[in-house]
Structure 1
């Protein structure tokens, strides 16, 4: 480990690996240091010991960002053998009265299913769905510059996206809808932001994810699990001479091997812990002010059969938002923001067997679930999650064979970036959508020459998209190694 490298990357999540791959393809020697025994951060797939041979996605499980990401488009996951499997229904949202909202990949089918609110749904998301690349340019940019390719044709789409955020981030968020199903469907997607509703940040999250739900591959699941994406990145890195060292936690600068450039796929908190007084005072204080958000408690379940949804078509979805009506979702998120546990928590779940039957072993299938909880909560939410699902799937308890909860307070034990269970690596607020992690013009620079932050705590934020690592690596290549032309990523 004392051998000098051109670049050292701390952390092997999708962003860290994207940065490492980019630098290695530019001909630099790259070393990746990972604290855990396995590579991949929030995109790992592991056998948790709940059932023989059954594997679970440790954090992320569903990947609309992966197919939409410009980084992964250039990297070409499909050509590398990663198969993204698209469910017929991108996401579903059951309601207490036996109804359910279904966001089909087919926008027309979704509009028809929403009845009287179908036209309003089309007016809101249709223009975004027809030009998803422009939506992605806006949402997955560095938040400091005009995204390449947006001008001039993408301006109307960007304007619609912005107006939609204003509308659905305000108290009049549901005024365009007449019934309860469409508002609940949109509220479930908004809840991915884990923030009080309505809010501009949650509205932006909802519009991006809904546009992707009706475009391209929708909300796909990687065959075999999220680890397939990591495996493709790792194979390319090694093919270009990159070295990955696991079980190597970095807690101080003394543990860093010598290098000309450093990329941290970590939270600002870890960066400050490692670099300490090496950081300029102003930069250190700004990073220390970075806010972390509410938590998620993970519940992994083993089922003996599919979830017995009261509305059977909910079972066609790769992702289900279990929260009830829009008002109930908002009430649950408000409770979490106030530091209390909701009586009926917002639960997100995914059954990968819906599109990947090979995930089943011996008649058993994995079920992935999160419940939103206060930051740092140490509560085991297994019973609360089962009870919440049972409300919309009577008999669910009867198919549960095994379950395991990782409370929010323990999420960082398997991924140090999940501070207090904050799976977004930072509070999702309007300020932190743009001034993330600080208000610096270059959001990846930390005030030390040759050192950059490249995690989900930087733009464009959370998701398996690799963009934060790609953006930070481009800056390092240009500013430290005078590499002006970004290296190609194709196989």
Structure 2
């Protein structure tokens, strides 16, 4: 009998598996897809010889600050972060872009009269990035350390300000609010909201500290590759092309961890979950979706403001008011006239991604849940607004509509790549309002982004769950340290 079986090989599943294996347990990971990594895969999509695309995640502002990845020592496992000079940018039509440099002071200078307000909002948090990560990436049930409490208080106050209609009080011009709202829309939530604001504050501050908003050399697949290598070195195994649809697909083990949505876990082991918890989990809902577009370009994007070309991440959406309107349209089930787009050109800092003069461009746009539309033309037109001549560089492209995102990751129901709606209630009670958000039944745990602290490539959902398994099932509290 195995000690533990992990269902799903996304960053959280592999984080859980590696944690358990380092504690000396016999661990097997079962993955339905032919490749590991979940939302952190880098694959050749067949669009151009030698060009590899990041299938979902592309930029990793939480990876270097994650308590789990620092415990694991990603750098020691060969993962290399490449930091753009510009963490993120917000271009406009007909005027200079808003720019968030890795340097806080350079950003403050660029923002002019709103620069001091930007520094006051994000500067104290950026000075304590690991405290911010401890607060933002906790289990939402435990108090952070005393050392992190002052940073946590600043984050709460900043979120309360930017998550309500008070969000316009601090700034006088359009650039700073748009810049922050561009970050907030990573949450796929209405603007303003506490969830989008909390996302914007944490990620915005991380952009000015540590490694900023890094891109991984060679692509996002470096993270699952490092986790899988460590797991195997500790006698763990990974079996791909092994979908788990029922309990009969699981080998005997003392513990099972599901890097899946609650609904998938219930389909497999629901008969072992109490009726009360089962009813609560069936109320867990998914949010709006994204459509993913991969491009192959013959050159860098010709942004109308050349400074944008130094950024690893670009947000397209115009002013704060325009972005709020577009998110409201999506929430109402409509496709906005000007879709919100997130763009990343990894070759900005990783020239190895250029092959025979061609380079990948990563893009996604927010859409209503389950949208079947191919958004390639709409996203191309939107990029063209801010980068005239973009269309002339496109060699090949491919769209994955929201309705088909689930085909490469079962957690992305209707295109919801956050694995659960990003609402205030579902972030506090994720997936339900219980003291232990990970335990489903004796020996059965949930370890996906559907649990606290939520989506992102940080491994914390898996780490939190695995440490509970070590204590609850194996009586090894505190023994998950090397």
TM range (shorter): over 0.9
- Measure the CA separation in 2 of the matches of 1:99 and 1:295: 30
Give a deviation string over 1:281-331, Cα, whole Å, max 9, x none: 111111110121110000000000000000011010000001111111111
Is residue 38 of structure 1 aligned with residue 35 of structure 2? yes
- Measure the CA separation in 2 of the matches of 1:207 and 1:477: 33
**How many pairs align?**
482
Q: Which one of the candidate residues 317, 333, 344 is aligned to 2:327?
A: 333
The match for 1:227 is 221
- Measure the CA separation in 2 of the matches of 1:256 and 1:155: 42
| Equivalences for residues 308-319 of structure 1 within 5 A | 308-319=302-313
Is residue 121 of structure 1 aligned with residue 134 of structure 2? no
The match for 2:99 is 102
Compute the displacement of 1:98 (Å): 2.1
The match for 2:346 is 352
The match for 1:406 is 400
- Measure the CA separation in 2 of the matches of 1:122 and 1:228: 33
| Equivalences for residues 68-467 of structure 1 within 5 A | 68-147=65-144, 150-151=145-146, 153-446=147-440, 448-467=441-460
Compute the displacement of 1:356 (Å): 0.1
- Measure the CA separation in 2 of the matches of 1:80 and 1:259: 28
Q: Are the equivalent residues in 1 in contact too, given 2:470–2:480 (CA < 8 A)? A: no
Is residue 474 of structure 1 aligned with residue 471 of structure 2? no
Q: Give the match's secondary structure for 1:424.
A: coil
Q: Are the equivalent residues in 2 in contact too, given 1:5–1:260 (CA < 8 A)? A: yes
Superposition CA RMSD, Å: 0.8
- Measure the CA separation in 2 of the matches of 1:12 and 1:374: 27
- Measure the CA separation in 2 of the matches of 1:35 and 1:98: 48
- Measure the CA separation in 1 of the matches of 2:148 and 2:461: 22
Unaligned runs of 5+ in 2: none
Give a deviation string over 1:426-453, Cα, whole Å, max 9, x none: 111111111000001100011x101100
The match for 1:48 is 45
Compute the displacement of 1:385 (Å): 0.4
User: Which range moves more in the overlay, 342-351 or 97-106?
Assistant: 97-106
Give a deviation string over 1:237-259, Cα, whole Å, max 9, x none: 00000011000000111111110
- Measure the CA separation in 1 of the matches of 2:272 and 2:373: 38
Unaligned runs of 5+ in 1: none
Compute the displacement of 1:488 (Å): 2.7
- Measure the CA separation in 2 of the matches of 1:387 and 1:457: 34
